[in-house]
Amino acid sequence: MKIIVDAMGGDNAPQAPVMGAVMASQEYGVEITLVGRGEEILSVLEKNGIKELPAGIEIAHASEVVEICDNPATAFREKKDSSLTVGLNLLKAGEGDAYVSAGSTGALLGAATLLIKRIKGIRRAALAPVVPTGGGGAVLIDAGGNVKCPPEYLLQFAYMGSYYAEHVLGRPEPKVGLLNIGAEPSKGTELQTTVYPLLMKAGEEGRINFVGNVEAREAVEGAVDVIVADGYSGNIFLKTMEGTGLFLVREIKGIFMANLVTKLAALLVSGGLKRFKKMLSSSEVGGTALLGISKPVIKAHGSSDAYAIKNAIRQAKQVASSGIIESITANVDVMRLDAPVGEE
């Protein structure tokens, strides 16, 4: 399997993507194409004591870089020799099985949609990160890719999130919940009350395991495996969880570092504290899958270090070998409402 990695995307590029790729190649046995400025990639390797290009890694030169300040809707067109555009064109041409980038989310989503294309019949691609919960993590879809959503989008998000939980996370009959302000079917805005019966119907037909509305508190406690939301609500939920996690880690550290006695107590529970911190770390997941795109595309966090990129490559490998895209493609007709499948 070959994974294409954007060597110039992210706050810590090219160091993080290059060294993350080296670790992933050794640990996961995948071939990797690093896309970017060749001389800078080789310089990173040399600075890390690697004199020759490691076996299983190759470089595809790209002279330009899509910056955060670039217009995300047009950057990939204006910079045709960027690591983003060149990398996605390699994926489109079948010269890799998945693509990973820590670059601009908007540019990646737009470029993947227009270059790789959505699965025919899928109305919008969605950001689907796995967020930490008491149930071992849940797929949040959408997490910010689509702020305004008609009911059909959420119906498709529910199916795609369910397939991801089943095929990639290994959850049999994953529980799907609609993020809302209450459990009653009448709760929420017009969007939630309209999509609720659509999800109920899909559940009654045995296509997904829809368990009803889920409040944010219950979602965090692990009530469901898939949290369905419009991008606006989903992004607020995601950022709140991230902020809460950082707050808790900081406060707990402050408690244990207060004096000698608490520092000794910290030593006794250090293993548990490390597991807790690891559970909250986005670096462990690696990245966010762009579900609905016809080939696997993974968005790593912009601040990813080499460890996070390594895990994003692992995730890309899992998605590429999971069969999720084939499942979505085979079942796209039941995810549609009245519009014909060919309508885009």
* Residue range 207-243, pLDDT digits in tens: 999 999 999 999 999 999 999 999 999 999 999 998 9
CA 320 to chain centre: 13
Per residue in 62-106, pLDDT (tens digit) is 999 998 888 888 888 899 999 999 999 999 999 999 999 999 999
pLDDT in tens, 131-160: 999 999 999 999 999 999 999 999 999 999
Q: Checking DSSP bridges between strand 130-131 and strand 138-141, what pairing results, if any?
A: antiparallel
- The DSSP code for 116 is I
All domains of the chain, ordered by start, with CATH? 1-122+292-344 (3.40.718.10), 124-285 (3.40.718.10)
Alpha-carbon distance of 109 to 198, in angstroms, equals 27
Distance of CA 95 to the CA centre of its chain: 22
pTM value? 0.91
Residue range 326-342, pLDDT digits in tens: 999 999 999 988 644 33
